[in-house]
């Protein structure tokens, strides 16, 4: 099936782009000898795990089922981190994971005997208390009061009380970035070394967490590789990097159809897709997703320095994807959904042509944090999951129906 023939709504995974990203990640492994793991919480489309496993070292999980999926469907290195593990989860995790990262000294104490017994390498997540994220407090594990990672103060107190409390521990983990470049990693690493360097000498591995936007066009890979090589050499450890986003960045689309047009001062297009149900990060983060052939009104100001209330005299040429002087005036629409939630608004966009009922619209960069976070609020259907191979041939991998809605309730 071709892209234009797909039934909507559908998430389409673009294998060509996925491979492009994986080649970049594979080269970082080759250049530095580090191990890169897919953070499954961003992208768990296990249909692609065999492909991903050809390029990188394995998977990491944020919970028990992700851990199981990584073991079952990729079967390479399998790590897990969670703020806490139940005894029941730990029973299974030590059988399917080779690395476990604890969030606190108390969790480490509680579960470490079982890790040692099962021959599982365990480590501790630290909090360098070094924020590099400006706006997104919800994604900042270094924000004041954060529950994520052990602070130096807490670690020292635990060591004072029980000097060999960390015995048997083999790794240090930090995760503080989100969609960031390697200058922020470099600065963070300095803070981690200053505070926790005394531990790193005795470790077998250091995990740099996720949030590295390695496959983004302007990402400085040289600095990343410098950071990895520095830690490997100075502390004689293996280095892990566990990106989620970077693996499937720009490697997927959400294809939708315009169902209706509502006029009320502005023109709203009602789509068979929903921000609340199918792309929750649009509301949660929040952000406006890129749209093929459409310009985000918010970008006019942020990226092009044009006041968004001013009439502009150019439009996006849909066919060529470039700016052209506007011929037929401007077409501005609010893109929204067929749920009942008033705030289920995807964003305001401008087009180079009129958009009509029945037209298809394609949201870009929809592989990550989409399929893993969607829901059936309002009883609307979940988008199909479609795989598009390097020749553009599309295959429906999963179709969801009423039973998927009913089955969870
Ligand atoms: C979220 C997360 C990741 C992946 O983050 P991305 O921003 O998707 O790269 C990796 N490790 C941990 C511990 C995380 O919480």
Point out the ligand 1 atom lying closest to the alpha carbon of residue 242: 10
Q: pTM, whole model, 2 decimals?
A: 0.93
How many helices (H) and strands (E) the chain has is answered by 13, 19
Band the pLDDT of 20: cuts 50, 70, 90: very high
Report the residue among 67, 179, 209, 252 best suited for mutation to probe ligand 1: largest number of ligand atoms under 8 A from its CB.
209
175: three-class secondary structure by DSSP: coil
State yes or no: 222 annotated in a binding site.
Answer: no
**Choice among 88-102, 115-129, 311-325 with the minimum mean pLDDT:** 311-325
Q: Is the pLDDT of residue 110 over 70?
A: yes
Q: Is-contact 269 339, C-beta < 8 A?
A: no
User: Which residue's alpha carbon is nearest to atom 7 within ligand 1?
Assistant: 211
Count Cβ atoms within 10 A of the Cβ of residue 321 and give its class: 0-12 exposed, 13-18 middle, 19 or more buried.
exposed
State yes or no: 245 annotated in a binding site.
Answer: yes
Distance 402 CA to ligand 1 centre (A): 32
pLDDT at residue 278 in the model: 98
User: Which residue's alpha carbon is nearest to atom 1 within ligand 1?
Assistant: 210
The helix, strand and coil proportions of the chain, stated in percent and rounded to the nearest 5, come to 35, 25, 40
pLDDT digits over 342-384, tens only? 999 999 998 878 899 999 999 999 999 999 999 999 999 999 9
Q: Cis peptide before 342, with omega less than 30 degrees from 0?
A: no
Q: Is-contact 273 8, C-beta < 8 A?
A: yes
DSSP state of 218: T
99: three-class secondary structure by DSSP: strand
DSSP state of 391: T
Q: What structural domains and CATH numbers belong to the chain?
A: 16-247 (3.20.20.10), 266-355 (2.40.37.10)
Please list every protein residue whose CB sits less than 6 Å from any atom of ligand 1.
39, 41-42, 81, 175, 178, 209-211, 242-246
Report the residue among 67, 83, 175 best suited for mutation to probe ligand 1: largest number of ligand atoms under 8 A from its CB.
175
User: Which residue's alpha carbon is nearest to atom 14 within ligand 1?
Assistant: 210
Q: State the Cα–Cα distance between residues 23 and 273, nearest whole angstrom.
A: 32
pLDDT digits over 40-56, tens only? 999 999 999 999 999 99
pLDDT at residue 231 in the model: 98
9: three-class secondary structure by DSSP: coil
Q: Is the pLDDT of residue 298 over 80?
A: no
pLDDT at residue 323 in the model: 58
Q: Is the pLDDT of residue 306 over 70?
A: no
Q: Is the pLDDT of residue 313 over 90?
A: no
Q: Which residues contact 153 (CB under 8 A, 6 or more apart)?
A: none
Ramachandran angles phi, psi of 112, nearest 5°: -70, -35
CA angle, 335 as apex, 409 and 267 as ends, to 5°? 130
User: Region 326-344: what's the mean pLDDT?
Assistant: 84
What is the average pLDDT score of the chain?
A: 93
Point out the ligand 1 atom lying closest to the alpha carbon of residue 246: 9
Band the pLDDT of 293: cuts 50, 70, 90: confident
pLDDT at residue 178 in the model: 95
pLDDT digits over 194-224, tens only? 999 999 999 999 999 999 999 999 999 999 9
Band the pLDDT of 133: cuts 50, 70, 90: confident
Ramachandran angles phi, psi of 396, nearest 5°: -75, 115
Q: Is-contact 80 100, C-beta < 8 A?
A: yes
Ramachandran angles phi, psi of 203, nearest 5°: -95, 165
Strands 294-296 and 10-14: unpaired
Q: Is the pLDDT of residue 302 over 70?
A: no
Q: Is-contact 378 339, C-beta < 8 A?
A: yes
Q: Is the pLDDT of residue 189 over 80?
A: yes
Q: Which residues contact 167 (CB under 8 A, 6 or more apart)?
A: none
User: Region 229-238: what's the mean pLDDT?
Assistant: 98
User: Region 6-28: what's the mean pLDDT?
Assistant: 98
Strands 384-388 and 10-14: parallel
pLDDT at residue 321 in the model: 64
Q: Is the pLDDT of residue 308 over 80?
A: no
pLDDT at residue 328 in the model: 47
Question: Would you say the C-alpha torsion 262, 266, 272, 275 has a positive or negative sign?
Answer: negative
Q: Is the pLDDT of residue 251 over 70?
A: yes
Distance 44 CA to ligand 1 centre (A): 13
pLDDT at residue 325 in the model: 47
DSSP state of 319: T
pLDDT digits over 22-32, tens only? 999 999 999 99
Q: Residues of the chain with pLDDT > 90: what percent? A: 87
Strands 314-317 and 322-325: antiparallel
């Amino acid at each position: 099936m071709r892209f234009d023939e797909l039934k909507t709504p559908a998430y389409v995974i673009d294998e060509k782009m996925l491979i492009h990203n994986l080649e970049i990640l594979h080269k970082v492994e080759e250049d530095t000898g580090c191990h890169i793991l897919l953070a499954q919480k961003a992208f768990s489309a296990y249909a692609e795990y065999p492909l991903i496993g050809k390029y990188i070292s394995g998977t990491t999980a944020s919970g028990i089922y992700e851990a199981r999926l990584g073991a079952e469907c990729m079967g390479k290195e399998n790590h897990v981190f969670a703020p806490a593990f139940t005894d029941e989860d730990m029973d299974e995790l030590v059988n399917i994971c080779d690395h476990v990262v604890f969030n606190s000294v108390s969790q480490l104490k509680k579960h470490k005997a079982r890790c040692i017994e099962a021959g599982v390498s365990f480590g501790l997540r630290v909090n360098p208390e070094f924020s590099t994220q400006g706006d997104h407090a919800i994604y900042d594990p270094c924000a004041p009061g954060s529950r994520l990672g052990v602070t130096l103060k807490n670690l020292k107190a635990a060591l004072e009380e029980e000097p060999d409390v960390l015995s048997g521990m083999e790794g240090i983990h930090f995760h503080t970035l989100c969609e960031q470049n390697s200058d922020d990693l470099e600065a963070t690493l300095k803070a981690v070394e200053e505070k926790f360097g005394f531990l790193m000498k005795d470790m077998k591995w250091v995990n740099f967490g996720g949030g590295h936007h390695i496959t983004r066009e302007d990402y400085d890979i040289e600095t990343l590789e410098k950071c990895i090589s520095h830690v490997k050499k100075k502390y004689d450890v293996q280095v892990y990097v566990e990106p989620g986003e970077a693996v499937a960045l720009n490697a997927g689309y959400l294809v939708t159809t315009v169902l209706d047009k509502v006029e009320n001062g502005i023109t709203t297009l009602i789509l068979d897709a929903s921000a609340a149900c199918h792309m929750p990060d649009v509301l949660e983060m929040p952000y406006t997703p890129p749209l093929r052939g459409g310009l985000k009104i918010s970008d006019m100001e942020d990226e092009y320095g044009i006041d968004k209330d001013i009439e502009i005299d150019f439009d996006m040429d849909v066919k060529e994807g470039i700016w052209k002087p506007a011929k037929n005036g401007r077409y501005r629409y609010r893109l929204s959904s067929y749920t009942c939630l008033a705030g289920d608004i995807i964003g305001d966009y401008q087009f180079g042509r009129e958009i009509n009922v029945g037209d298809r619209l394609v949201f870009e960069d929809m592989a990550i944090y989409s399929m893993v976070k969607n829901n059936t609020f309002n009883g609307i259907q979940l988008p199909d999951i479609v795989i598009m191979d390097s020749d553009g041939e599309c295959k429906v991998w999963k179709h969801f129906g009423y039973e998927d809605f009913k089955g969870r309730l």
